[in-house]
Chain A
Amino acid sequence: MSMTRHAEPAVGTPPAPGRKESDGRTTQRPLALRLLARPEVGVFLGAVAVYVFFLISAPPVREGSAMANILYQSSTIGIMALPVALLMIGGEFDLSAGVAVIASALTASMLSYQLTMNVWVGVVVALLVSLGIGFFNGWMVVRTGLPSFLITLGTFLILQGVNLAVTKLVTTNVATDDISNMDGFGQAKKIFASSFEVGGVQVKITIVYWLVFAALATWVLLRTRYGNWIFAVGGNKESARAVGVPVTFTKISLFMLVGFGAWFVGMHQLFTFNTVQSGEGVGQELIYISAAVIGGCLLTGGAGSAIGPVFGAFMFGMVQQGIVYAGWNPDWFKAFLGVMLLGAVLINLWVSRTATRR
């Protein structure tokens, strides 16, 4: 107030530098409230609740092998949910993520089989194709400034059609031929689709990849410049550009990261089943996006974590397998997902409103 009352200008009045005490206007909220305000904690509690629910209602879930199964199911969702979540934090999303998985698997499978080459050739080409799809999505979004919803809806439809049409054209069938006799198959299977034994339980290797990728993504998000840029381009693109963040690079590379994830999951499917159904993958993109949203990633970008989607994917895997173990009709899965999604979003909203109120 004093500034505005005096006739003399504020010339030569330094603003009392070096004051060390706090300004005393903020008080620490209780630890429990601060924790609850974090969406990862919310989804963790949700995951625990779902787990307990199935522990009670589906006794087979209590066995170790069932847990391994549930985690495996979660990992196939979770590996893709991670890059999808990072992209969402970066302010975009990718509707083509589901069919891109199949596109990648089809590329590797058909290329190797039709040209009778080592499967590794197909694997590498599939990686390039997947990164290319990601680059195309990202480049189109950045260049046109159109919402990524529209661009990737286009890619989604294109890939869905191309997957089916090209597969029918090449194999005269809707599925690709079995590649399990090809050179290098065993080697690739070891990397993408093997399992190992822990205490008498077969554990799929994707679970390990899932957790390693999650740890890596967390580190990148919170501890690297690139992670800083992801939050910035999602939070306020124009501001980020104004302070020198390479917005174009960040966005395109995020789309390419989703491409990488699609390739990885695609390879897993190919080397697990030896053959690929060309019509699959439709609708999976929404599962990935839901897992990210339940995990606390903001649909509008700028906030989220990598650990949240891990719990989100676990919830989905738990429900998907839990319904089977409980002996219910698997058709209930999607309905369950919808209820969980709405529930999680509402709880997150309520919690963040109560917990952030001072």
Chain B
Amino acid sequence: MTSSNHSGAHGAVIADTVAEGADDGAIVELRGAGKSYGNIRALHGVSLTVRPGRVTCVLGDNGAGKSTLIKIVSGLHQHTEGEFLVDGLPVRFSTPREALDKGIATVYQDLATVPLMPVWRNFFLGSEMTKGSGPLRRLDIGRMKKTADEELRNMGIVLDDLEQPIGTLSGGQRQCVAIARAVYFGARVLILDEPTAALGVKQSGVVLKYIAAARDRGLGVIFITHNPHHAYMVGDHFSVLRLGTMELTASRDRVSLEELTNHMAGGAELAALKHELSQVRGVDVDLLPEEKDLTAPVAAPGEGKS
């Protein structure tokens, strides 16, 4: 578990005590994992632990390697270095189906929904409930609607009409249906690929609520985002990626929102974020550190932002 520490070039790696006892209940674990595409090293030395009932946030700017990381975990790509363990056993997925069979479900940005189809049909698409046999085998529509309604309500989503095309729902609602679907179909680990990226403030709040609900139902959640504010609201553990390596990995009690934002924003942008930050945290803006205080621990001078 120490492989993350040698990314010292970016400095400020905070010691991670939670990840030390690696095997206690971790569903998914990456140890020094990395991925090279030919001679391009997209990801290197990444360690990550996902535990049931915990939200692991992966933050990073565009091109930091977030997508590569989830592609490894969800079975779309294979890691080229380090270890990838599920339930303590090393694995190497060749298709997303294998990851799904292990209970690792991914909710992609495009949500894998068919806009013109009703909500309940989308919910069960590909895993439809049927009754009867032989040529009379048919959809069990009543049971599917009832189940979909119950599952959505369990996640706190109330829809008037499950017959409405899912395309008529708002982005946040669709995201929530996709999450509820993954939960229902036995996901133990939920990978959410920037679920709040295209959403407004209120919509993001709704999605964050469902992430918390999924966590409370005992799922391990990997929450990919580039918004430290969203991450800090639900996260138990934070990993910041930068240029393909871990810049920071810390549990919630070891890192503050300021530090997280600092690592994400790379200092220079932070001054601009002060205004936004004050609203979220409800603290006096004057108490926030100035730009010159923040740049020091982040990156060597001249490195610039990614």
Contacts and interface: CB of A to CB of B under 8 A. Distances in A.
Chain B contact-residue range equals 35 or more
Interface of A: 1-7, 9-26, 219, 223-225, 227-228, 231-232, 235-236, 238-240, 242-245, 298, 302-303
Interface string B182-209: 0000000000000000000110111011
B212 A18 contact: no
A126 to B, nearest CB: 25
B31 interface: no
Name the residue among A3, A17, A19, A224 with the largest chain B CB count within 10 angstroms. A3
B273 interface: no
Interface string B205-221: 11011101100100000
Contact of A1 (B125, B153, B202, B212): B202
B6 to A, nearest CB: 31
Nearest to A300: B116
A228 B281 contact: no
B110 A21 contact: no
Contacts of B115: 235-236, 302
Given A240-B126, A243-B112, A4 B201 contact: yes
A22 B160 CA distance: 5
B114 A224 contact: no
Name the residue among B114, B128, B209 with the largest chain A CB count within 10 angstroms. B114
Contacts of B108: 242
Given A15-B156, A228-B125, A302-B116, A9 B234 contact: yes
A114 to B, nearest CB: 37
Interface of B: 96-97, 108, 110-117, 121, 125-128, 130, 137-139, 141, 153-156, 158-161, 164, 201-202, 204-206, 208-210, 212-213, 216, 229, 232-235, 279-283
B114 A15 contact: no
A3 B205 contact: yes
Nearest to A231: B117
Nearest to B176: A15
B212 A13 contact: yes
Nearest to A245: B126
Contact of A239 (B97, B113, B201): B113
Contacts of A223: 138-139, 141
A223 B205 CA distance: 37
30 contacts: A3-B205, A3-B209, A3-B233, A7-B280, A7-B282, A7-B283, A9-B234, A10-B209, A12-B212, A15-B155, A15-B209, A18-B153, A18-B154, A25-B160, A26-B161, A223-B138, A224-B137, A224-B139, A228-B117, A228-B128, A231-B114, A235-B117, A238-B112, A239-B111, A239-B112, A242-B112, A243-B127, A298-B116, A302-B114, A303-B116
